[in-house]
Structure 1
Amino acid sequence: MAFSYSDPYSLKNSIIHKLTDYSTIKYPEKIYIQTDKPYYTAGENIWFSAYLLNGVTHTTSLKSSVIYVELINERDSIIKEQKIFTESVSAKGDFALPMDLPDGNYLLRAYTNYMRNQSREFFFKKEIPILSLYAGDKKEDAENDSIEDEFPDLGFYPEGGYLVTGLNNRVAVKIQNADLRTNPIVGTIEDTQGNRITEFNTMEFGLGSFQLTPEQGKEYQAVVSSGDESVVYPLPIPLETGYVMNTSVSETDVSINVRTNKKEGLKNVLILGHQRGLTVFDFIQEKSTNSMSLKIPKRELIDGVLNIVLFDNSEKPVAERLVYIHKKEAISPSVKLFPSTVGTRERVNVGVEVKDKWGTVVPSTVSISVTDATLVKHNQNAGNIKTWLLLNSDLRGTIKSPNYFFLPEEVSKKNQLLDLTMMTHGWRRFIWQEFLEEGTIQNFEAEDGIYFNGNTRNLKAPYNNKTSETKLTFRTDGFYQESQPTDKNGCFSYGPFVFNDTIDVFIQAGDNISSQNPDFNNTNIILTPSIERPGIIRDRIITPFKQQITYAESYRHKSRTNVISNYKFDEKGEMLDEVLLSAKVKTEEEKVEMERNKRTRSFQPSHRIIVGEFGNHGASDFMGLISNVPGIRIGKKGNAETSQDFEINLRGMKPAFFLDNIKVTLEIARTVSQADIDFIDIRNTGHASAGYALEAQGVIAIYTKKGSRRGGNSIKNSKAGSINFKSNGFYSAREFFSPDYASEQKGPIRQDQRITLYWNPKIIVNKHRNASASFFTSDEKGSYFVEMEGITETGVPIYQTTFLEVE
């Protein structure tokens, strides 16, 4: 009863309300990644720019700030991964490919945690061929060498969804997994008695169509013959009663025609159209009729997929149709090179222009790559940011060679093929019945940084959650410490934090920890597990971004030369004097000591205590271990309230205390038992000021046994009332090396044979002026392909290419 509607207007209002909630509050996110090249060899670098967008408006997403990017091999194992932070529409990143990678089609996958609320099919995925440095490192894949089946797998798709007895309808035909150049086939449509009804033939992408008016009680099939053999494909069984919805798109309008053979006709049916969740039209038929027509002006629509849904008078979706809306380009992007023809090792100036039809500059963010066009053959039909955002990312399945539909030649034919493509795909970001009943379910939160979450429990039976005071301590650029109480369930959460690399984190919890007498004895800290990596779904077909390596061996040879030259002796360089190296085998004791020095950042202490050398000392904490060190004085505080209120003086001064390189109070340091301590460094004033900034009164540094463990986010030390672990920060992207020959000193210079001549992951065009950049050419003459991709501030995707000639 909660989801029933007394009239079509209630249904319409409910759908529009849920779509509005979806498009404004629970909107999805999309990611697009531009790489500097379409394919690579082992040992090269993949340079990329990741665009994170609102999936409805294609403007900057206001939800997530954290992007996960993974490189996956053909065995679906992640070989490289990065966690990237962004505060704007895009972020840069890179992967250094290992030199021992075998040939294969690798998968570049990107997503946010919030994107996991929808199917993994909507993650960004781009298949990238990678060549080994030497030919023959991978056996040939039988799948690649297989001969195309004589009788392909055919699918049949009635427009709107169904064949209905007595109603003429158009049926789309598609050869499954077909590409642009798939061989055409010819077939006939027959009833099951063998009576020929009509025929069909396929075109590019294996697409075709035919008209059919099913008769009462009959079923139909398609027959494809080759020589003396034939294969029969059954068509969908016609419904006795139902609805047929046909559409067409002109320069100005979208025409929709609906017919039914139901007795009640079309009275109270609802037709609704939306684009990416934005409602663009709705119509309720109030008259009793068996057919109706609508025209929707294209000026009210935006570029991209239009989803049209028909709900019957019992409020069920009974027909659905996708059409693609092409509109006249409102944005004119351009990338200009000055000069367009240049010599080797000369400067090239880059000008980026993005203007609207009135000539006004449109604020935008773009990324640009310049690659050797002789070795890197770009497929003009392959996907780009425009085809991904406006087409592929909103469809079920994959449209191969999508840019074919956006090129200016043979527009009428391409529109026909694109319309057939729309008939054979479905928009499945949500399923209507589930959407109307449950709305958009969101189990995964958007991330805006790194959090340290967990809860506190009793260390003794019954081990239930308990309220506690907590304290977080870590050091990045400086010392950071924060305290907070848990909630009534013992939960705590610190963050968001933004830091790079890996840091040591120390969390304490207990009773009265902000006082002079903290109690850690009955508190256990349980950290919330890291976000589980989503499973991998790889389409075992050519992805929309797939590029064929036209001159594989030439590319491999040139790339291998560049990769090896980075490690090879340069004969033109300056010869250094011979250096004689000598070494000796280190003892186990020396190795252990080296490990200790690494943990202390190699600063030498004025005194070191190795706890294991004391045997069973009997001391309950570290104070008994340091009591005989020269210069150490331990005594009760002058205003001591309890027998445990001690103070330590180091040569008459108050030292700082560190636990596994994290600054702590004396009270916290005393919670570490002797059994957990590996060694203690005492650093007098001079030593401390050298190793620890601002600690001019000396340092007592305690290093625990468990604290020496290394690894990602693994726990280093966990005991009553405290937990110590390493946390991985965000990846800090490397800078693309681009030599400046104008400022180079004279002398021997290594040969420059870059395949990627220039890569700039982020160029910003602001509202006041266009953007500019510059780079130098290499020693290689020839043609270079310039590719610019990006997004305007208003969410319009940008794609532009040109060429640079080096003479």
Structure 2
Amino acid sequence: MFSVMGVKIFWMFFITLAFLFQPSPAADDDDHGSVLAANLHSYTEHLADHKVFLHLDKSGYQTGQTIWFRAYLVDAVSHRPAAGMNNIFVELLGTDGKPMAIRLLLARDGVAKGDIRLSRNLPEGNYVLRAYSAWMRNSGEDNFFTSNLYISNPSWENMIPRIDIFRNRIFNWRLGRQESSYDVAFFPEGGNLVAGTVNRVAFRAFDGLGRGHDAKGEITDGSGNVVAVLETGVQGIGVFNLEPVAGGEYRARVSVNGDRADTYELPQLLEEGYVLRADQDEKRIRLQVFANVTAQNPLYSQELIVVGHTRGKPRYAGSHLLSEGSFEVELDRELFPSGIAHFTIFTADHIPVAERLLFVDRGDALHIAPEVGISSDGDDRFMEMSLAVTDKNGHPVEGEFSLSAVSGRSGTNGRQAGIVPYLLFSSDLEGMNGDPLVYLEQADDRADVADMLLMTYGWRRFNWDDVAAGVLPEIRYSGDPGITVAGRLRDPSKDEVISNYPVRLRIRSGHDSLYEAVTDRNGYFLFSGLFYKGEVAAELSSRRLPGNYPPEFELTLQSAGKFEYQLGVNTRRHEVVARGDNWSRDRSAGRSPYARAPVRRTAPRVYGTPDQTIYIDYETFTERTLFEVLRNRASGLYFDGNQIIIRGPSSIQGSNEARFMLDGAFVHRDAFLSMYPREVERVEIFRGTSAAIFGVRGGTGVILAYTRRPGYSGLEDVMELSMLGYHEAREFYSDRITLPGVRSGDDVEATVYWEPEIVTGEKGRAGLRLPFSEGADRLTFTIQGIGRNGLPGYSTFTLDIE
């Protein structure tokens, strides 16, 4: 027997978060507001950004396990699944910024699945799982999805390189310093602390990792009088009112965690400025604007413009005249979809002077209702699960969902934020550190906490200065599906780009496909729309330049590349700081599998750097023998009849002529010098100390020739590279699952079920048959996904098996 315990449907939680606004007819639209709204609409439409969310099978991992994930790619405005095919990159990145795994997924209609097997030589420590579409690179890395993980490796102490021990100790030292350093920051509502009016000020007490702490204190004026009392609520956030006087000096004395109080400066006090205050009830949003700006102030404006948008789509724009230094706007919250609404106040000259973020929750996150039963087929038992997905009105919803079930102590390594708070909340906030539910779940009045939280964060998806000026974002990256190989061709002899020059791409690995392109006027080449699976061996080639110089390839990465790890609320100390008792050297330990650089394939160079290299142009050479090549092109040689002398007039062998080698073997001078140049790729001349590598036989210098190699015609220079193809997701083990010894009290978290492709039809229902788990007495299920209507859903529940 079994019973469903503790069902938590997070859509119900978000319904209670109603504290927002909606625009209403309380303001008259005019041309000024229309221009700003039109510019914002153009900006958003031009960028056409995405959001990515990864549903992971669990929150903590160990080497030898697999990270199973489902990727959801949605339109950044509507949250509807991205139509068609799109590339998604998923990267596992270490604290040193090196990628330890990269997966290229081909998303179809907004969904894709994948997995990352964690190898036994993966270093134990903190990692970031980063995901983004190819198009999202246009809006910058701040908008990428990231999830912090700690991956343990029981064997790491017995293979850790010495340098990593040093790095781990430095990392832990830095982490400790950040954990013990406290700060208090103040955020006036609307952005300005203005004299002569009541200012609502939010504040946060936090450590260097961004974790909130309890704090108490007071605000004093220049005479030492207490004018406000401070006390934090949930996660180190609080709010107070302050009515400063012009010319006044104000300071905060705050004690964090009961320690000695320190003095903190408040934001600069403006004698003139604008204050924006926002309040709401269940139906309406009220915006109040106060101003004490005189006509001599450059920011003076009797007419002010209010623009409100959600995720870059304008929802309200109107202009208002100040009456006795203030005005008020009431807005119907039904005009704004669920998510963060952004209100900005502008002067008539389109200069932003105040802004406010509010969270609108219309209670429309999807309701996911599971029903569980047991069936038998002979000796096999199965868990039968049916899902019903509906909207807030009970109507069925079509969509894509994924399910994970873990046994053991679920969440011992932290937890992953769900798709609902990510899409509606943290994905649009600048510097959001950690899971927003950590703040909101602990609050008695969730609306007030969300309000205070948003007063301490800023909008991150565009800059109003660009929008007001009508400047559209630069589009540098294509969102077209397919693998791309791109780069630039340069002439190293002249340090110039090579335009209008042919480049070839040959796909090996059993495909043997050939593609051709020509560089543009800036030397760039591009091969796109390629569809190959797995890691693919490839070759780039181009003709030799005049003088037989090889062109130089500068490759452009498909993925975002550079990554800098930031310490944060989910960062843990690195546990391995010394070698274990059974330590042995493992040269592959901790190495990134992507550290291999592209290799240029030419005739091998094994004797170091020569004093001179003569490239023989396959098409333009005029000499008939190598002797003529040396006589016409070599420098520092002395020709005594038919002898070629590099060094002085004496030698212990009685001869002072140079020695000759062909492809690494010494040959007779006559055979060498009579060679036809068409057979030779290059000639290298070693003299003096450079010839010491040849020993006694190099005493008079060495002239070395390389013949043209098989597969290397002399017409082309070839670069070998490994190309990242599309990831082929493995199937999760779906036969009978037996986990002997795994109980709810064990300090282990194992993925028992993973189903990444659940599709609900017109009736909003889906059914699953899962092999019965014979070793777990409690399972924690997580189901989440996105409807075709753009609404996210999340549900989690525990199942006790008796």
What is the TM-score with the length of structure 2 in the denominator?
0.69
Q: Distance in 1 between the 2:193 and 2:494 partners?
A: 67
SS of alignment partner, residue 451 of structure 2: helix
8 A contact 2:486–2:556 mirrored in 1: no
1:201 counterpart = 2:231: yes
CA distance in 2, matches of 1:109, 1:459: 36
Name which of 793, 796, 799 aligns with 2:794: 799
The answer to whether residue 532 in structure 2 is matched with residue 499 in structure 1 is: yes
Aligned to 2:216: 186
Q: Secondary structure at the match of 2:445?
A: helix
Tell me the equivalent position of 1:166.
Answer: 196
The match for 1:431 is 463
Q: Closer, same or farther in 2 for the Cα pair 1:706/1:763, shift >3 Å?
A: farther
Q: Residues 472 and 268 from structure 1, CA distance in 2 versus in 1: closer, same or farther, beyond 3 angstroms?
A: same
Shift of 1:453: 4.3
8 Å Cα contact 1:371/1:785 also seen in 2:
yes
Whether the aligned pair in 2 keeps the contact of 1:523 and 1:721 (CA below 8 Å) is no
- Per-residue CA deviations over 1:296-329 (Å, capped at 9, x if unaligned) read 1111111111111000233210001111111123
**What amino acid is the match of 1:96?**
R
Structure 2: which amino acid aligns with 1:222?
A
Q: How does 1:535-574 map to 2 (within 5 A)?
A: 535-543=562-570
Partner in structure 2 of residue 20 of structure 1: 41
Q: Deviations over 1:560-584 (max 9, x none)?
A: xxxxxxxxxxxxxxxxxxxxxxxxx
Quote the residue 1:273 is aligned against: 308
- Residue 443 of structure 1 is matched in structure 2 by 476
* Partner deviation per Cα, 1:448-492 (whole Å, 9 max, x = no partner): 211344678899999874646776654678664566777677765
- 1:144 and 1:461 map into 2 onto residues whose CA distance is 48
Distance 2:130 2:32 in 1: 39
Instruction: Output one character per residue of 1:346-376: Cα deviation in whole Å (capped at 9) or x when no partner.
Output: 3112323222245433221111111004355
Stretch of structure 1 that moved more, 199-208 or 138-147: 138-147
Instruction: Find the counterpart in structure 2 of residue 386 from structure 1.
Output: 420
| SS across alignment from 1:269 | strand
Aligned to 2:192, what secondary structure does the other structure show? coil
Match 2:555 to one of 502, 516, 529: 529
**Which one-letter code corresponds to 1:104 in the other structure?**
G
**1:329 to 2:354 alignment:** no
| AA matched with 1:443 | R
State the distance in 1 between where 2:278 and 2:679 align. Answer: 80
Question: Does 2:97 match 1:76?
Answer: yes
| One-letter amino acid matched to 1:495 | S
Corresponding residue for 2:775? 780
Please say which of residues 769-778 and 483-492 is displaced more in the overlay: 483-492
Q: Which residue matches 2:67?
A: 46
Shift of the 784–342 alpha-carbon distance from structure 1 to 2, 3 Å rule, reads farther
CA contact (8 A) 2:30 2:318 kept: no
> Closer, same or farther in 2 for the Cα pair 1:160/1:85, shift >3 Å?
same
C-alpha separation between the residues in 2 aligned to 1:135 and 1:99? Answer: 8
Of 396, 405, 416 in structure 1, the residue corresponding to residue 448 of structure 2 is 416
Q: Is the 8 A contact 2:122 2:153 kept in 1?
A: yes
Within 2, Cα distance between the matches of 1:15 and 1:473? 50
| Whole-angstrom CA distance in 1 between matches of 2:730 and 2:182 | 48
Moved more, 83-92 or 389-398: 83-92
SS in 2 for 1:133: coil
Contact 2:32–2:348 (8 Å) recurs in 1: no
CA 1:520/1:352 → structure 2, altered by over 3 Å: closer, same or farther? Answer: farther
CA–CA distance in structure 1, aligned partners of residues 410 and 205 of structure 2: 33
Residue 555 of structure 2 aligns to which amino acid in structure 1? P
Alpha-carbon offset, residue 23 of structure 1? 2.4
CA contact (8 A) 1:179 1:204 kept: no
* C-alpha separation in 2, matches of 1:217 and 1:724: 69
Q: Name the counterpart of 1:88.
A: 109
> Separation in 2 of the partners of 1:247 and 1:315?
21
Residue equivalent to 1:242: 273
Amino acid in structure 2 at the alignment position of 1:436:
A
Q: Which residue of 1 aligns with 2:386?
A: 351
- 1:251 corresponds in structure 2 to 282
* One-letter amino acid of the structure 2 residue matched with residue 499 of structure 1: Y
What is the CA distance between 1:377 and its match in structure 2? 4.4
- Tell me the CA shift for residue 384 of structure 1: 1.3
Within 2, Cα distance between the matches of 1:153 and 1:397?
Answer: 16
Corresponding residue of 1:732:
727
Q: Which residue of 2 aligns with 1:629?
A: none
Listed as ranges, the matches of 1:580-595 within 5 Å are none
Contact kept in structure 2, 1:344 and 1:777, CA below 8 Å: no
Q: CA deviation at 1:185?
A: 2.0
Q: Using the TM superposition, give the Cα deviation of residue 188 of structure 1 relative to its aligned residue in structure 2, in angstroms.
A: 1.0
Superposition RMSD in Å: 4.3
Tell me, in whole angstroms, the C-alpha distance in 2 between the residues paired with 1:479 and 1:313.
Answer: 63
Structure 1, unaligned stretches of length 5 or more? 1-6, 512-518, 553-619, 622-671, 677-702, 708-716, 743-748
Q: Is the 8 A contact 1:504 1:724 kept in 2?
A: no
Cα distance change of structure 1 residues 38 and 524 upon mapping to structure 2, 3 Å threshold: same
The answer to whether the 8 Å contact 1:502/1:727 transfers is yes
Q: Which moves more between the two structures, 362-371 or 339-348?
A: 339-348
Cα shift at 1:287: 5.8
Counterpart amino acid of residue 219 in structure 2: I
SS at match of 2:44: helix
1:356 partner letter: D
Matched residues in 1 for 2:491 and 2:104: separation? 34
Q: How many Å apart are 1:263 and its aligned residue?
A: 3.5
SS in 1 for 2:47: coil
Structure 1 residues 234 and 803 mapped into 2: Cα distance closer, same or farther (>3 Å)? same
1:97, distance to aligned residue in structure 2 (A): 1.2
Q: Contact 2:484/2:528 (CA < 8 Å) preserved in 1?
A: yes
What does 1:358-757 correspond to in 2, within 5 Å? 358-374=393-409, 376-377=411-412, 383-404=417-438, 413-437=445-469, 438-453=471-486, 465=498, 467=500, 474=507, 480=513, 493-505=526-538, 529-531=555-557, 533-543=560-570, 705=709, 719-721=714-716, 723=718, 725-741=720-736, 755-757=750-752
Q: Deviations over 1:580-603 (max 9, x none)?
A: xxxxxxxxxxxxxxxxxxxxxxxx
Deviation at 1:239, TM superposition (A): 0.7
Structure 1: how far apart are the matches of 2:752 and 2:328?
56
Residues 745-769 of structure 1: CA distance to partner in whole angstroms, max 9, x if unpaired? Answer: xxxx996969211112222223355
Aligned length: 630
Matched residues in 2 for 1:470 and 1:209: separation? Answer: 63
Taking the aligned partners of 1:393 and 1:24, their CA distance within structure 2 comes to 19
In structure 2, runs of 5+ residues without a counterpart are 1-27, 159-164, 576-617, 620-676, 682-706, 743-748
What is the CA distance between 1:66 and its match in structure 2?
Answer: 1.9
CA distance, structure 2, for counterparts of residue 224 and residue 132 of structure 1: 42
Distance 1:181 1:255 in 2: 32
Change in 2 beyond 3 A, CA 1:317/1:705: same
The answer to whether the 8 Å contact 2:309/2:342 transfers is yes
Partner of 2:672: none
CA distance in 1, matches of 2:381, 2:723: 42
Structure 1 contact 110–124 (Cα < 8 Å) conserved? yes
Which one scores higher on RCO, CA 8 angstroms, separation ≥ 6? 2
The 8 Å contact of residues 502 and 726 in structure 1, kept in 2 or not, is answered as no
CA contact (8 A) 1:368 1:787 kept: yes
Aligned equivalents of 2:771, 2:460: Cα separation in 1 = 47
Q: 3-state SS of the aligned residue for 2:459?
A: coil
Tell whether the 8 Å contact from 1:187 to 1:199 is kept in structure 2 after alignment. Answer: yes
- SS of alignment partner, residue 176 of structure 1: strand
Q: Which secondary structure does the structure 2 equivalent of 1:160 belong to?
A: helix
